[in-house]
Structure 1
Amino acid sequence: MRARLDEIVFDCADPAALARFWASLLEAEAVDREPHWSYVDPPGLPRLAFQRVPEPKAVKNRLHLDLMAGDIPAATAEAVAAGAGAAGELVTDAYGQFQVLRDPEGNEFCFVSGRAARGGRTRA
């Protein structure tokens, strides 16, 4: 069986707000298809969709997005201003740099640079 990645879907409490947060990070437009479903089509990436679910996020994500950033501290500051929270400090090692963050609903993601952007990190 062959399959193609169509979109990445986030379960969340407020799809419209989360779509706008991610749209601001990825320089894209947020689209509200229905009150319980919004999405973003970032250039060069699969669609990110956001669907309302009744239960809150309870544990650490088993999947997260790594976003390439030339200037991680500047990208982190912009993301925090948009509603993200930094999780720990900027990590610099032989592979490059990464910063773990959480979006407004607690979903983890990372800004990465250098070889860290190609899987050199050991944790998120």
Structure 2
Amino acid sequence: MQFLINIDVDDLDRAIDFYRDAFNLHVGRRFGTDGVEMLGGNAPVYLLVKEPGTRVAEPLAQKRRYERHWTPLHLDMVVDDVEAAVERAVAAGATLESEIRVNKWGAIAGLSDPFGHGFCLLEFRGRGYDELCL
């Protein structure tokens, strides 16, 4: 099985700049004017232009919006240096929503991208999540 990451955005050029600058991704393929594949992580990221106010799915009444919103699904990105990664993401346009917290397994910071999508930056330390296993 292969996982693909699809992220709805309202401004493709701005999204390319953000994901390039924040995470060192680069453009793989372009899909006309409405999509781009970003490579450089262990799964491709597809940035897909979806206009604000359009329906998120046919049976749902919800409309797309790009101010900060909550969803039960978000991305966690594992980095070697969480402090440097937070600094880079914020410089690229991310919003730091929760300061770096150190846990038994490592460190984590909560952020959101310029399109309202939340994500976390994780730095595993010691044995990472194995520190939680009995």
Residue 120 of structure 1, CA deviation: 7.9
Q: Structure 1 residues 24, 40: CA separation in 2 closer, same or farther (over 3 Å shift)?
A: same
User: Cα distance, 1:49 vs. partner?
Assistant: 0.6
Write the deviation string for residues 73-97 of structure 1: whole angstroms up to 9, x where unpaired.
2211111111111012111122211
Matches within 5 A, 1:14-53: 14-30=11-27, 31-43=29-41, 45-53=42-50
Gaps of 5+ in 2: 52-63
Structure 1 runs, 4 residues or longer, greater than 6 Å off: none
Partner Cα separation in structure 2 for residue 120 and residue 9 of structure 1:
31
Q: How many aligned positions are there?
A: 117
Q: Residues 10-89 of structure 1 correspond to what in structure 2 (within 5 A)?
A: 10-30=7-27, 31-43=29-41, 45-54=42-51, 55-57=64-66, 59-89=69-99
Per-residue CA deviations over 1:95-114 (Å, capped at 9, x if unaligned) read 21100111111211111112
TM-score normalised over the length of structure 2: 0.73
Root-mean-square deviation (CA), in Å?
2.6
Structure 2: distance between partners of 1:50 and 1:61: 18
CA, structure 1 residues 88+4, in 2 after alignment: closer, same or farther (shift >3 Å)? closer
Identical positions, percent: 22
CA contact 1:21–1:83 (8 Å) conserved in 2: yes
Aligned counterparts of 2:30 and 2:112: Cα–Cα separation in 1: 22
1:15, 1:51 within 8 Å by CA — same for their partners in 2? yes
TM-score after normalising by structure 1:
0.78
Q: For structure 1, which segment, 25-34 or 14-23, has the greater mean C-alpha deviation from structure 2 after superposition?
A: 25-34
Q: Determine the structure 2 residue equivalent to 1:113.
A: 123
Quick check: which has more Rg, 1 or 2? 2
Unpaired segments ≥5 residues, structure 1: none
